[in-house]
Amino acid sequence: MRKLDTSVDALLEEFKEAWKPEMGEYSRKLVEFCSSKALRQGPACESISDSSFSRFTFDMMLAWQMPSSADEESYMETLGKAKEEKKPLKVTAPHEDVSLFYSDIMPLLVDHGQGVEEDAFVWFSSMLPLPGDVVNGRFIFETLTAPTANTLHYPAYDRFLTEIEKCTKHLQKQDTPKGATFADDEYILHVEGTASTQRVVRHIGGTSWPGRLTLTNYALYFEALGSISYEDAIKVDLSRNIDQSLKPAATGPWGAALFDKAMLYESSELAEGVLLEFPELTSSTRRDHWMILTKEIMLLHEFLSKRESLSANQMWEMHARTILGFIRLHAAREMLRMAPPIPQRFLIFTLFDELPKGDFIIEELAETLKLIETGEPCSASSILRSLNMPHEIVHEMEFKKPDVVEGVSLKSPQEDGFATLDGAVSEVKEQAKEMESAKATTEVLKEEGVVDSALVLLELLKPLKSCWIWFQEVVSWERPGATVNLIAAILFIAYKEWIGKALAIILFWAAYVMLRARQQRIGDKYNKVVVCTASDNTAMESIVSAQQQLRTAQDLVQQVNIAILKVYSISVSRAPKQSNTVMMMMVRVAVIVALIPFKYLIMASTLYLFATNSKVVSKNLMKNDTGNRRLKEWWDSIPVIPVEFVDELPENS
């Protein structure tokens, strides 16, 4: 056997001794057993640069995908039918503009050899978190295989591992920021602002300082460019458990906010935020990319600070998994240059910070983290060690010797934890797709102008308008039968104190209406809202009408402002006489509410409302309108506080 110093028969005997029928499919469990034995033999990634490693691990995934001869026969039949039908390869919409790599090598990907599917890739990522992580492996696979109909072929897989190694070596070659002292387990994850990369500019007030920006798994370092070399780096510590935030910002000449291409870091320990600009001609892609990477490190340390029960080795394991996520992202960006991948899909914390129920996944991740043995050759920390990362880990770890392989359990707690985690991730992924579809339906409305939005709102409020008209007719006794029934129902419910039961009946009725609408397929019959924009008015009449509506809106805003200012004047006794009246009325109402049961107040209010809107009472009120007139005179006599417009607020405000 390759990698194992044993015979096939001896391996089978060892497997049969541990296997039980309730463990699942025999052939697949055998593949998992042999693969685990082979990967635990020594440093799993010591020969990543060798094509034999990619071929060997790719064959592992194929073997897990088709563990029995029946599976191979089924695959060959499907392949034969596909060749007869000559079905074209489907390319998903997000990656129609694929990279040159995929364009050039497409014949090899499609016509030569079998491809790996998603479940096999995720299984292998749980065994060896190099090409992916069990937490976000499905999202990584979906991104890598979008141009090839969600099937990972060997040339693409081999190229991905090659790019991982190249990106690792590239990060190792980066210089430590000037004047900075790294922790023993601190790694450089991204650098920009050098001679071979695009500029990064720091803004302090009206002054701009170009320089080099370095991101590690602990901090951001900015080195301003001096006349000869870089100045000492300014450190922004992202690992502190403090109140800190990161948000987009706009910059420009002399401090003018013109270009939305910067990010602003603020914390409770900084008197002034750190403003960094990433200049580019059109979009703000660089800024958004840096914000995602920085946010990932902030969320990593927030996650670790909340899990004090984790050991130092388990915390470092989480660091290692995050670092590998950055390396995978760099590798994928090199592969897909013409259609850069979404960064969040390769980063654990930013991905699930945005997805629905992502917090549940993070909790499951914390539980599975406790089951991982960091000293094993297949752990993320061991992979970093075998990739020759330059810094030494301060945590003492006992790594198993390469020539010793302990017994491999067919059903370990770690495997159960990964299975639970993967199931939760699959569920979250499906919910994320539903949410994206729902959000896509709102994009059209967001692109509409003010006039179109107003027309849509008026059309949507038509049912409420008809309900309001019906209610006015009932209150004004234009529908005597409905009015009497409504009065009787309100009085009876209030007297019996059945408000909760009445609310329950209303909710039951609403649920019944929704169920009936589903059975009658009303959603299919009326699957869109039709807004008519036709008008019988001429162009001049439309302009005059719009002007009148604008004046009406302006008058409404003015009346609201005046009402608020008058209420404020009463509350601070700017109008003492009116304030005394209001306070006396409030005291009287408070005494009434305290002494009289509330149900009688509801009954009295109901009778008063319907009585005053009846024809007989309303005629008498119209003849004797003294009360309303005195109330209007009292309201008009309230002065408002003055309003002053200034260009800058005073310091003591």
Q: What is the DSSP string of 522-533?
A: HHHHT-S-----
Q: What is the Cα–Cα distance from 562 to 542, expressed in whole angstroms?
A: 30
Average pLDDT over residues 409-414: 56
Q: What is the distance of C-alpha 252 from the center of its chain?
A: 30
- pLDDT-based confidence at residue 406 (cuts at 50, 70, 90): very low
SS3 call for 74: helix
Angle between helices 26-39 and 118-127 (to 10 degrees): 40
SS3 call for 211: strand
pLDDT of residue 276: 94
Bridge-based pairing state of the strands 207-216 and 200-204: antiparallel
- pLDDT-based confidence at residue 403 (cuts at 50, 70, 90): very low
CATH of domain 174-283: 2.30.29.30
Q: What is the Cα–Cα distance from 350 to 135, expressed in whole angstroms?
A: 12
Q: What is the distance of C-alpha 471 from the center of its chain?
A: 43
- pLDDT-based confidence at residue 609 (cuts at 50, 70, 90): confident
Report the candidate in 36, 51, 56 with the shortest Cα–Cα distance to residue 160.
51
Which string of DSSP letters, residue by residue, matches 603-645? HHHHHHHHHHTSHHHHHHHHH--HHHHHHHHHHHT--------
For the chain, the structural domain boundaries read 8-168, 174-283, 479-523+580-643
Instruction: Give φ, ψ of 19 to 5 degrees.
Output: -80, 140
Beta carbons within 8 Å of 88's beta carbon, 6+ residues apart: none
pLDDT of residue 111: 52
Residue 402, pLDDT > 70, answer no
SS3 call for 403: coil
CA dist 43 → 134, 381, 383, 418 (Å)? 20, 11, 7, 22
Token representation of residue 110: 């499609």
Roughly how many angstroms between the first and final C-alpha of the chain, as a whole number?
A: 80
Q: Are 243 and 230 in contact (CB under 8 A)?
A: no
Q: Which of 15-24, 128-137, 363-372 has the lowest mean pLDDT?
A: 15-24
pLDDT of residue 390: 43
- pLDDT-based confidence at residue 529 (cuts at 50, 70, 90): confident
Q: Which of 363-367, 490-494, 623-627 has the lowest mean pLDDT?
A: 623-627
| CB-facing half-sphere around the CA of 121: CA atoms within 13 A | 24
Token representation of residue 241: 């458990």
pLDDT of residue 248: 93
Q: What is the Cα–Cα distance from 126 to 122, expressed in whole angstroms?
A: 6
Q: What is the Cα–Cα distance from 263 to 514, expressed in whole angstroms?
A: 46
Average pLDDT over residues 122-138: 91
Q: What is the Cα–Cα distance from 220 to 567, expressed in whole angstroms?
A: 51
Beta strand ranges found along 129-225 (DSSP E): 188-192, 200-204, 207-216, 219-224
SS3 call for 106: helix
pLDDT of residue 97: 44
Q: What is the Cα–Cα distance from 14 to 34, expressed in whole angstroms?
A: 10
Report the candidate in 426, 299, 315 with the shortest Cα–Cα distance to residue 369.
315
Using alpha carbons only, how large is the chain's radius of gyration in Å? 35
